[in-house]
Structure 1
Amino acid sequence: MLKSLVTFFAILVIAHCSALTIVLKAEEKSCYYIFTEKPKTSIGYYFAVQSGGDFDIDYTIKGPDEKVIVHEEKQRQGDWVFHADQVGEYEFCFSNEMSKYVEKVVDFEITLESDFKAELPNGGSNPVEVDGIVNSVESIETKLNAIGKKLQYYKTRNNRNQFTVKSTESRILYFSIYEMVLIVGMAILQVTVVQIFFSGSRKTLV
C-alpha cells in the first residue's frame, strides 16, 4: 500500500516538473509532441514569453488528425486545459516567424491530467484510510501546482521588469551621448560663427 502511494505521488511530481525553456530565433518555428493513451484525457499547458521584442509569440495545437485545436497569435502567456477526445499524438508549435530580427525566450509546460486513482489497490485496506490519504495527496498536488504557477508568474514578471529596466538604461545612455554630441557641436558652431564674425570685421577695418 505504501509503495503504491509513493509511486502515485512520484508520478504526480514528475507530471508537474516537465517545464522547458526554449530560444526561438527570428523567423523560427519549433514543435513539441505529447502522446495520449486514453480518450477524453485532459491536457494542460502553460507558456510565458520571458524576453524578446514585445514578449509575444504565435502558437498552434493540432490533434492526431492534423486538425487545428487552438491557434493564437501574439500571445504573451497562457495557462489552459483542453480535453483530448482522440488517442494519439498532439502537436504544440511555437512560432516566432512574425519577428524579422529579435529572438524570443519561452518557458512552457505540457501535462497530462490523468486519473491516477485507478492505480491504487483497494483490497486488504480500509477504504476510508485510502480515501483520506488520496485526498491528502491531491490537496498537496493542488497546492504545489498553485505555488508552481505563482513562481512562474513572478519569474515572468521579474524577467520583463529587468528587460524594461535594461531598455530604459540603454535609452538614457544613448540620449545622454546624443545630448553631449549636440552640446559639443553647438559649441563648435558658436566658436566658428564668432571667428567668422571677427574675421569679417577685421577685413572691413583694413
Structure 2
Amino acid sequence: MLGTCSRWAVLPLVLLLLSHRVQATALTAMLAGSERSCYYADVDGTGEKIGFYFAVQSGGNFDVDFVVMDPDDKLLLEGSNEKQGDYIFTANKIGEYSFCFENEASMSDKLLDFDIMVESEPRRALSAQQAPLREHTSTLEESTYKISGLLSSITRSQKYFHTRHHRNYSTVLSTQSRIFWFTVLESVIVIGMSILQIWVLKTFFSRSGRRYKV
C-alpha cells in the first residue's frame, strides 16, 4: 500500500519532468482556384520538432500542391497533387518557417484541414537528492510515453476518418447533382421526342393536302 501511495506521490514530479513546450495551430481554410496561401510558424531554438499535417476535405480531385521553407527560404518539403500528408522534421535553424499551399493548376475551390506543431521534448535528469525516486519515476515515465504514443495514434486515426467522411460526403453531393441534371436532360429528350413524333404524324397525314383529325 505504501509503494502505491509513493507512486501516486511522485506522479506530479514525473509529469513535471515530462512537460515540454508545445505550440500548435489547427486550422480549416478555403483555398480558391488559382490561389497560393502561406502560413508561418516561429521556432525559438534549434533541434525542435516540427509536425506538419494536412488533408484536402473537398473540392476538385481532393489534391493540392505544397512547399515548406526554412527561415533562409531553403526548400525542406514539397509535393504535387497530394491529397494529404503527415510529416515530422527537426528544425536546424531559428526563425520563421513557411508552409504554403498552391491551387494554381485548378479552378475549383479546395477545403483544407491542417496542423502545424512546434514542440521541444527535453528529458530532464533527476538530481542527486531525487535519486531514490528513480525507480518509481522510470516506470511511470515509460508508461506516460506509451500513453502519449497511443493518444497520438488515436488522433491520427480520427483525422483519417474525418477526412474520409468529408470526401465521401462531397462525392455523394456530386453524384446527386449529376443524377439530377441527368434526369432533367432525360425529361427534355423525352418531351422533345414526343413533340417530334406528333409533328411527323401531322406532316405524314397532310401530304395530300388533306387534313385528318387524329
* TM > 0.5 fold call: yes
Distance in 2, Cα, partners of 1:104 & 1:126: 53
Shift of 1:29: 1.9
Distance in 2, Cα, partners of 1:35 & 1:132: 34
Distance in 2, Cα, partners of 1:9 & 1:103: 42
| Paired residue total | 201
Aligned counterpart, 1:169 = 176
Aligned counterpart, 1:61 = 68
- Work out which of the residue numbers 112, 126, 129 in structure 1 matches 2:118: 112
- Work out which of the residue numbers 85, 100, 123 in structure 1 matches 2:92: 85
Alpha-carbon RMSD across the aligned residues, in angstroms, is 2.4
Cα distance per residue 1:154-183 (max 9 Å; x no partner): 011111111111111111111111111001
Unaligned runs of at least 5 residues, structure 2: 1-9
Shift of 1:8: 6.5
Aligned counterpart, 2:138 = 131
Q: Counterpart amino acid of 1:90?
A: Y
Shift of 1:19: 2.2
- Work out which of the residue numbers 85, 88, 95 in structure 1 matches 2:102: 95
Shift of 1:193: 0.8
Shift of 1:135: 1.6
After TM superposition, the structure 1 stretch with the greater mean CA deviation from structure 2, 1-10 or 50-59, is 1-10
Q: Counterpart amino acid of 2:179?
A: I
Q: Counterpart amino acid of 1:107?
A: D
Contact 2:48 2:119 in 1 (8 A): yes
After TM superposition, the structure 1 stretch with the greater mean CA deviation from structure 2, 174-183 or 87-96, is 87-96
Whichever of the two has the greater Rg, that structure is: 2
Shift of 1:71: 1.8
- Work out which of the residue numbers 27, 34, 41 in structure 1 matches 2:34: 27
Contact 2:52 2:117 in 1 (8 A): yes
Aligned counterpart, 1:140 = 147
20 and 99 in structure 1: CA distance in 2 versus 1, 3 angstrom threshold: same
TM-score normalised by L of structure 2: 0.83
Cα distance per residue 1:115-141 (max 9 Å; x no partner): 2423x7544360122222222221111
173 and 128 in structure 1: CA distance in 2 versus 1, 3 angstrom threshold: same
Q: Counterpart amino acid of 1:134?
A: E
Aligned counterpart, 1:200 = 207
Shift of 1:144: 0.9
Unaligned runs of at least 5 residues, structure 1: none
Aligned counterpart, 2:59 = 52
Shift of 1:5: 4.6
129 and 41 in structure 1: CA distance in 2 versus 1, 3 angstrom threshold: same
After TM superposition, the structure 1 stretch with the greater mean CA deviation from structure 2, 151-160 or 80-89, is 80-89
Q: Counterpart amino acid of 1:162?
A: Y
9 and 179 in structure 1: CA distance in 2 versus 1, 3 angstrom threshold: farther
Q: Counterpart amino acid of 2:54?
A: F
